[in-house]
Amino acid sequence: PNCKSTSPKYTTCEQNESRRIEEYYDLRDLLGSGTCGEVRRAINRQSGLQVAVKVIPIDARNQSKKSLFGKYSQIHAEASILKSLNHPYIVQLLDVFCHPGKAIYLVMELLSGGDLFDRIVEKVRYSEIQSRRIMRRIFAAVF
């Protein structure tokens, strides 16, 4: 299995195996976690740019080749979708690091302020004008 990319900006997992994320980014605090992995704040060692890194663990020990291939395919699909999108309301994929048998790292721009769901829960009620503004941004990103 691999997570090849068709974009010249990203290389294949096989080519990336020698690139260690720790050489390029200083992984910092945990921003969130879910069933697929966790997201950490990181700092680019060269530029000082803060980014978000989605860490997707890959444990090949107890998985069949079919299961591993499925996981790599899902990750590749997510990376392909992210890299094909270019919109101010959608997070940008900056780089991909593959450490076979350990993890795949998706380096993305870091957005502050939390996600829309958290804002909706926190605020509870929005005016029609505020709701319209939010929905326009969502539709602009999706369509």
Series of mean pLDDT values for 10-residue runs along the chain (143 residues): 39 59 96 90 96 88 71 81 82 89 90 80 90 90 79
Q: What is the pTM of this model?
A: 0.73
| Residue 18 CB coordination number (10 Å) | 7
Return the closest-CA partner of residue 79 out of 52, 60, 59, 105: 105
- At residue 14, the pLDDT reads 45
Tokens of 142: 């999706």
CATH of domain 13-112: 3.30.200.20
What is the rounded CA–CA span in Å between residue 14 and residue 140?
36
What is the rounded CA–CA span in Å between residue 2 and residue 79?
12
What are the residue boundaries of the structural domains of the chain, listed by start? 13-112, 113-143
